[in-house]
Amino acid sequence: MNSQNFAAATARVIAVQDDIISLEAIGETPLTKNEVVYILPSRCETKHQERLKAEVLRIYGNRADAQVYESTLGVAVGDPVEQSGQLLSVELGPGLLGQVFDGLQNPLDLLATEFGYFLPRGVDLPSLDHNCKWAFTPCVQLGTKLHAGAALGTVQERRFTHKIMVPFDIAGEVEVTWIQAGNVTIDEPVAKIRLANGKEQTVMLKQRWPVRKPLSQDLLRNNLNQRQYPTEPLITHLRLVDTFFPIARGGTGCIPGPFGAGKTVLQSLIARNSEVDIVIVVACGERAGEVVETITEFPLMTDPKTGGSLMDRTIIICNTSSMPVAAREASIYTGITLGEYYRQMGLNVLLLADSTSRWAQAMRETSGRLEEIPGEEAFPAYLDSSIKNIYERAGVISNADGSSGSLTMIGTVSPAGGNFEEPVTQSTLNTVKAFLGLSADRAYKRFYPAVDPLLSWSRYLEQLNPWYQRHLAPDWTTHAQQVLQLLSRGNSVHEMIQVAGEEGVTMEDFVIYQQATFVDMVYLQQDAFDPVDVSVPLERQKETFMLIVKIIGSKRQFSDQSHVRDFFTQLTGLFKNLNYAVWQSTEYKQLWGKIEAML
């Protein structure tokens, strides 16, 4: 080991257990919780000196435990440790959109270009392109008084106006003393501000922020931001979600379900078709197949809002197989910090985490290695509060300049065996306000999306009722609740038929069963492979749903059960074809006429 490494080191390794190491300070610099440190392994087999990134988890005296975000192979007792003096942070600035990062915000495409597909450990590349020039346009003048988070100017990032803001960690009022337009890199100064203590500070296009601290925390405390009550739904273009189980824009939701029930596909459809500005996909489960599919498909898909590529509005964060499980935890914090950054610009952001069960399992492994007292099923006792801390960072924020942005978070949960009573699912359900429970039985029957309407719920349905009354129909929420009740009654009749046969139920119950089956087949199910049915605009949903309400509300006389079955079979076929027809086309109008003629 080079003696220079020991000269720069301020701590040393005293114990190693998998990806947890124990440190001891050997200098005057104290160890800090959540500080980033670098281990310099003495048994280094590469040409360059490896610097393994780690984060301090807990401190006791002059010693600390840290989790390493790389393989600890070759790390030995006595190896030197460098302290960075910084908390685990991400780089914020123009150039984030369209990128694929790992959980520590390393650009994976650049890593692959420089080192091949087998990524070496100990490599720390810049997250943003430091050579790219951006056209900076000031929006304030000399002498303007501003606060943290206020815009100094803008650059154009793809189709978005990217605000360059006063650093978020600055306290009090600042004054602009110098600002200049021009083409600059993210490392070049664009403005100077005088702080409250009289000192000057240079502002560049980039800034850093610790991932475990909510970006808006200080701004809310100082009344520079205001948290708003969500009043609009997140339009996903999925009939089942938008009509019965809406998620508010700026709200929270979860998609639990057993393996193979379609969690990733449902999340992908929400990412593609939702009416938001920015989508951040956090693949914290190390499931390579789904990640590769997302990375390869998104650039080829058309953004329904602009006609451009979906990657123009997307950031993907995924863990590589070479990273320990601890990196899963960091990836969610990284993604939500990037989402908060774009929300501060007044944009609507959607964060999709797949899956938070893997993140919780990573916490369980780390907690076990730290020998903490375990909770239920060996998860850490602080599991519940950790999940709440993550989801509470979502929300609608109004800024001092009058702009308003939102961050909506939807996480998938993968309970073993589809058991919704396990700790991660229960803690998540106690936190979120929309629950889209997937059913293995519906997935087996090819009823997609396999969201079980008898298990799922949304507390936003009543909360968003004023919005539905203004934009859809005065009694929209009432109709939605009535249809859900019909589905529940239809399921009860179906169970009776399974035991007693069709002859064992009354004509009224049999009609209810056929009506519920009809609604399930033509409205709850949606064909993800059909170019028309995959994404249904809200106006078309309204038109179709009100027709269905009219059908199930009408009183028809049937001669026998065969007559009931024939009627609804024919009606289902017409509606299926209606769903596949282009809205307001000649075929659509003809099918609509045939349905009305049947009524």
pLDDT at residue number 117: 72
- 3-state secondary structure at position 560: coil
Separation between Cα atoms, residue 246 and residue 196, nearest integer Å:
45
Respond yes or no on whether the N-terminal peptide bond of residue 458 is cis (omega within 30° of 0): no
Angle, nearest 10°, between helix axes 507-519 and 538-553? Answer: 170
Domain co-membership, 258 together with 183? no
Residue 470 in any domain: the answer is no
DSSP H or E segment with residue 388: helix 383-391
Domain co-membership, 266 together with 400? yes
pLDDT at 594 over 60: yes
Alpha-carbon dihedral of residues 295, 301, 305, 306, nearest 10 degrees?
A: 100
Q: Which residue has the higher pLDDT, 426 or 48?
A: 426
Domain co-membership, 62 together with 165? no
Residue 34 in any domain: the answer is yes
CATH number of the domain that 487 lies in? 1.10.1140.10
Domain co-membership, 371 together with 502? no
Domain co-membership, 103 together with 21? no
Residue 572 in any domain: the answer is yes
Residue 431 in any domain: the answer is yes
Token digits of residue 62: 């002059």
| Position 415, amino acid | P
Separation between Cα atoms, residue 528 and residue 239, nearest integer Å:
12
Residue 124 in any domain: the answer is no
Domain co-membership, 276 together with 390? yes
Residue 127 in any domain: the answer is no
DSSP H or E segment with residue 226: strand 225-228
Which tens digit of pLDDT belongs to each residue from 453-503?
A: 999 999 999 999 999 999 999 999 999 999 999 999 999 999 999 999 988
pLDDT at 230 over 80: yes
Separation between Cα atoms, residue 30 and residue 552, nearest integer Å:
70
CATH number of the domain that 199 lies in? 2.40.50.100
The alpha carbon dihedral of 88, 93, 95, 97 has a sign of positive
pLDDT at residue number 102: 87
Domain co-membership, 243 together with 363? yes
**Which residue ranges are tagged as binding site for ATP?**
257-264
Distances (CA, A) of 10 to 24, 31, 72, 84, 570: 9, 9, 19, 10, 78
Which of 328, 304, 330, 303 lies closest to 314 in space, CA to CA?
A: 303
Alpha-carbon dihedral of residues 499, 500, 503, 507, nearest 10 degrees?
A: -80
Separation between Cα atoms, residue 12 and residue 63, nearest integer Å:
10
Last residue of a domain, which of 427, 458, 489?
458
Please give the tally of structural domains in the chain.
4
Token digits of residue 151: 């815009």
- Phi/psi for 168 (5° steps) reads -70, -20
Domain co-membership, 368 together with 244? yes
Model pTM? 0.94
Domain co-membership, 168 together with 262? no
Which tens digit of pLDDT belongs to each residue from 170-226?
A: 988 999 999 999 999 999 999 999 998 999 999 999 999 999 999 999 899 888 899
Which of 578, 573, 572 lies closest to 590 in space, CA to CA?
A: 578
Q: What is the mean pLDDT of residues 66-78?
A: 89
Q: Is residue 253 within 8 Å of residue 432, measured between CB atoms? A: yes
CATH number of the domain that 80 lies in? 2.40.10.170
Non-local (6+) Cβ contacts of 407 within 8 A are: 250, 336, 339, 340, 343, 349, 351, 393, 394, 395, 397
Separation between Cα atoms, residue 88 and residue 334, nearest integer Å:
9
Non-local (6+) Cβ contacts of 459 within 8 A are: 433, 434
CATH number of the domain that 407 lies in? 3.40.50.300
Non-local (6+) Cβ contacts of 440 within 8 A are: 257, 258, 260, 261, 418, 450
Non-local (6+) Cβ contacts of 470 within 8 A are: none
Domain co-membership, 249 together with 397? yes
The 8-class DSSP code of residue 341 comes to H
Token digits of residue 519: 């609604």
Domain co-membership, 278 together with 333? yes
Length of the chain: 599
Which tens digit of pLDDT belongs to each residue from 127-166?
A: 999 999 999 999 999 999 999 999 999 999 999 999 999 9
Separation between Cα atoms, residue 93 and residue 129, nearest integer Å:
10
Q: Is residue 307 within 8 Å of residue 95, measured between CB atoms? A: no
Q: What is the mean pLDDT of residues 242-263?
A: 93
**Which residue ranges are tagged as binding site?**
257-264
Residue 177 in any domain: the answer is yes
pLDDT at residue number 281: 93
Last residue of a domain, which of 171, 205, 239?
205
Domain co-membership, 435 together with 346? yes
| Position 565, amino acid | R
Residue 468 in any domain: the answer is no
Non-local (6+) Cβ contacts of 592 within 8 A are: 578
Non-local (6+) Cβ contacts of 180 within 8 A are: 136, 138, 190, 191
**Cα angle value 265/306/268 (rounded, 5°):** 5
User: By residue range, what is the domain housing residue 106?
Assistant: 98-115+229-458
